[in-house]
Amino acid sequence: MNIHNVLLPGKKGAFYGRHSTEEQTIDTQLHWANELAKEFGCEIIKEFVDIGVSAVKKNMSKRKGLTALMTYLETAEIDFVIIYDHTRLARNAMEHQKIRGFFNSKKIPVVMCSTRDMYNSGDLLGELLKDGYSKYEADAIRQRTEDNHYKKIKEGIYRGGKLPFGYKFSPDDYIFKVLPDEKEIVDDIFQKYQEGEGFHAIALSLKKQSFHGRDWTKDDVKLIITNPFYAGYLTAKRFHPNSHRQLTDKEEWIMGYCERITPFIRYEVWEYCYETYRSKRKGNVSPKNFKTPFLLRDILFCKNCKTPLKCKNQKNKYHGKPNGNSIYYCENKACSLRLEKNKVHEKFIEEEMSAVLIKYISTQHKDIHEEILINLKQKVDKLSQQIIELEIMIDEFTLQIRRTEAELHSLDPNKPQELKNSFLRYRILLKEKINNTQQLINEKKLKISYIENVESDFLLMKGLLVDTILLEYNGEIDPRLRRLLLYLFERIEIGPDLVYDVTARIDLENDTPVVLSGFIT
């Protein structure tokens, strides 16, 4: 069968067309369809179209124009259907076969005007080749489109899409206008998160119905905190393909700085917030790491056995009145160390924070930062050495796997199956060790990244000092003070008499005379 047998003078047919994006039009496809029909003295009496519909993203049952055509052919008497080319009907072989099966069952020939050929010619091999090429072409187009999109993102070129809370796009000026009222809310969210508040607590603290006319949720707050747009960066691949709220790891993102965005915060501040979120999500840091009544948790150790002290809240109500104390205690029964939380805090903060205050007043802040940098560099060097050692372990495990596989292949086929199984179990064990070791390497690399990009940033940590150093401790939960203690002190070893030894990131001996010129107002 060919078009000369189908497009006979006086025959009447229907047209089907489709394009994928709103920027395209159906006019070209329809023009050439009408030209071919006129050439053979035929007439197109009905048109069916799918506008801005991707055949890759939407299967045939979800394309309204194609569905309407098939419904129409159930009762209408027409002689042919005309399309521009086979890719307009489908982009994968399975759908092509279904569509051909439908047209063949109705005995309706389908003509392609671009090639002046038959879509359902009956040549099975030829049709399969066309269908395979259609799928290949669709994949190639999609890949080219993605590559171009990612390239533009890296160059900081906005490609459209919904803007985050606080911004409005002005297409005439090609700028992102800041909405002052919303910016104030976003600033408040970042500030509270830096101070140790969690997503849920922040959401409850925000003004009712201030998020596009409704109340805030913890997921809304999370999407603010984890979006680098507020630091001036466009992103792609930030979410899993099938979820608009499930984040991928930052290392998978495509990012590009956009000069047209007015940042709400510095990138280092955003990264600090993001890394805090990631540490909580991965379980490396407790969700209540900062908002805790135990200010010295994780850095307070038993002076005798060197193990970290645990925290316990023993407060309760007895006859309606508060009773008991919160304590730090050592799990080692040989020590039996139990210290009242408030007494530890009062002594430590009175003595050590006074030393920090004197250091703050008497020293140039860049000098304090240099001291901290030296300490942080030592941590990075130690982590880097550990990574090297772990990578050597992976090489050794890999070598053992190869040896095991070689021995397995060289085994006499008559050897017992249990012996072969033991080799297989050993290989599985080695692969598990490799996976676990690689996970440790990734965690240490993340720690290095956090130290280098967040803790080593002078402006960010100077703000922490300035905001917190002059606080008066009143025994209440204070996330800012907790952050400062974790930043300045690495380890505190304490005994039953409250005598302690401190490992700090700065020298707190303060032998030098006080120089007031170092004070920042």
DSSP 8-state secondary structure symbol assigned to residue 247: B
Res. 303 pLDDT band, cuts 50 70 90? very high
The yes-or-no verdict on residue 128 having pLDDT over 80 is no
Measured between alpha carbons, how far apart are the two ends of the chain, in Å? Answer: 89
> For the residues 303-322, what does the mean pLDDT come to?
75
The yes-or-no verdict on residue 119 having pLDDT over 60 is yes
Residue 521 burial (CB count, 10 A): 3
The DSSP code sequence of 156-203 is T-----PPPTTEEEETTTTEEEE-HHHHHHHHHHHHHHHTT--HHHHH
**What are the backbone angles phi and psi of residue 181, rounded to the nearest 5°?**
-65, -40
The pTM of the full predicted model, rounded to 2 decimals, is 0.52
Residue 109 contacts residue 6 (beta carbons within 8 Å): yes
Who wins on pLDDT, 496 or 325? 496
Res. 292 pLDDT band, cuts 50 70 90? confident
Residue 233 contacts residue 258 (beta carbons within 8 Å): yes
Q: How far apart are CA 170 and CA 168, in angstroms?
A: 7
Q: How far apart are CA 221 and CA 197, in angstroms?
A: 11
Residue 130 contacts residue 92 (beta carbons within 8 Å): no
Who wins on pLDDT, 382 or 509? 382
- Please tell me the predicted confidence (pLDDT) of residue 64: 92
- Please tell me the predicted confidence (pLDDT) of residue 516: 29
- Please tell me the predicted confidence (pLDDT) of residue 513: 38
- Please tell me the predicted confidence (pLDDT) of residue 148: 74
Q: What is the pLDDT of residues 330-381, one digit of tens each?
A: 998 888 899 998 888 888 877 777 666 656 655 555 666 677 777 778 888 9
The yes-or-no verdict on residue 326 having pLDDT over 50 is yes
Q: What is the pLDDT of residues 412-461, one digit of tens each?
A: 777 777 777 787 888 888 888 998 899 889 888 877 877 776 666 655 55
Residue 326 contacts residue 309 (beta carbons within 8 Å): no
SS3 state of residue 178:
strand
Q: Which domains does the chain have, with CATH numbers?
A: 3-152 (3.40.50.1390), 167-281 (3.90.1750.20)
- Name the least confident of 13-22, 129-138, 333-342, 437-446: 129-138
